């Protein structure tokens, strides 16, 4: 029996989308468990899973032991990576 490649690709695309949505929900849940944000707020503010990962990295820097200057230096060293996250968070707070 020949394979209908168009249908196959559509099925794969659909499965990938479903997996991505489940992953996005899990990411949002983990972030909301350690912040004041709800799952829905996390998903709305950071729809891209890569941004959620950056947010988690930024939160780790801020919450990890160490003095204030060390934390600032780490953030400054990675500002290009964290810039969008900072703008989004401040937009939510302002």
- Dig out the tokens for 61 from the structure: 């820097």
The CA distance from 43 to 45, in Å, is 6
Q: Residues 22-74: pLDDT tens digits?
A: 878 888 888 888 889 999 999 899 988 888 889 999 988 998 889 999 999 99
pLDDT digits (tens, 9 = 90+) for 34-48: 889 999 999 899 988
Rounded to two decimals, the pTM is 0.76
Measured between alpha carbons, how far is 15 from 23 in angstroms, rounded to an integer? 12
Q: Which residues of 56-93 are buried (b: 16+ CB within 10 A; e: fewer)?
A: eebeebeeeeeeeeeeeebbeeeeeebeebeeebeeee
Q: How far apart are the first and last CA of the chain?
A: 61
């Amino acid at each position: 029996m020949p394979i209908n490649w168009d249908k196959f690709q559509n099925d794969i695309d659909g499965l990938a989308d479903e997996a991505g949505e489940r992953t996005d929900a899990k990411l949002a849940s983990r972030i909301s468990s350690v912040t004041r944000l709800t799952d829905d707020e996390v998903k709305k503010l950071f729809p891209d899973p890569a941004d959620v990962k950056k947010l988690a990295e930024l939160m780790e820097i801020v919450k990890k032991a160490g003095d204030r200057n060390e934390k600032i230096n780490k953030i400054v060293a990675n500002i290009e990576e964290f810039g969008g996250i900072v703008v989004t968070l401040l937009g939510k707070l302002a």
